[in-house]
């Protein structure tokens, strides 16, 4: 099952419950905003999306991940708008039978997300100015 969402506002994690009787491995990633960008202190990042295309590409990527790896469920929320330091901009949960494919699937999904989902960020500096963040592609 796939669930992808691009949301404006704090991310609520997907429920981690006991209903996955055939999934031995549940892996959750939270990507959080760090307090520096290129060595300069920031107070927040502001994420901009290509509305429509970003969510469509995210869904396509989730489908590809599930074709490439034996992933049973892939849930993803990506936040747009202003995200303060410490808060999560990305939340991904993956359920697999074994952990190996979960770790590989997670790694691939996030790497690809950072290459192709049309989302960009601006750094909000301590003085309140807003500057385009450079691409890091890591």
Partner 1 sequence: MITVNVKCFSQVMYALDTDILLIELESGATTDTLEKIIRDRADGKLDGVSLRTAVNQKYIPDVVELKDGDEVAFIPPVQGG
Nearer to partner 1 by Cβ, of 16 and 50: the residue is: 50
**Minimum distance from CB of 19 to a second copy (Å)?**
6
Which of a second copy, partner 1, none does residue 48 bind to, with CB < 5 to 8 Å depending on kind?
A: partner 1
Strands (E), the chain: 2-8, 25-32, 36-37, 40-49, 71-84, 88-96, 119-125, 130-132
3-state secondary structure of 62: helix
Q: List the one residue from 84, 112, 120, 133 that touches a second copy (CB under 8 A).
A: 84
The verdict on 98 binding a second copy (CB under 8 A) reads yes
H helical segments located in 2-69: 53-68
Q: List the one residue from 1, 8, 9, 24 that touches a second copy (CB under 8 A).
A: 24
């Amino acid at each position: 099952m796939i669930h992808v969402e691009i949301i404006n506002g704090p991310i609520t994690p997907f429920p981690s419950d006991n209903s996955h009787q055939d999934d031995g491995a549940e892996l959750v990633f939270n990507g959080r905003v760090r307090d520096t960008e290129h060595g300069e202190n920031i107070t927040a990042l502001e994420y901009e999306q290509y509305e429509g295309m970003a969510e469509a590409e995210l869904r396509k990527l989730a489908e590809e991940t599930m074709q490439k790896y034996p992933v049973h469920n892939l849930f993803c929320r990506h936040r747009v708008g202003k995200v303060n330091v410490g808060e999560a901009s990305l939340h991904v949960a993956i359920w697999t039978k074994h952990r190996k494919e979960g770790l590989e699937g997670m790694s691939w999904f996030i790497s690809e997300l950072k290459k192709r989902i049309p989302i960009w960020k601006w750094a909000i500096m301590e003085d309140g100015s807003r500057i385009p963040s450079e691409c890091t592609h890591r």
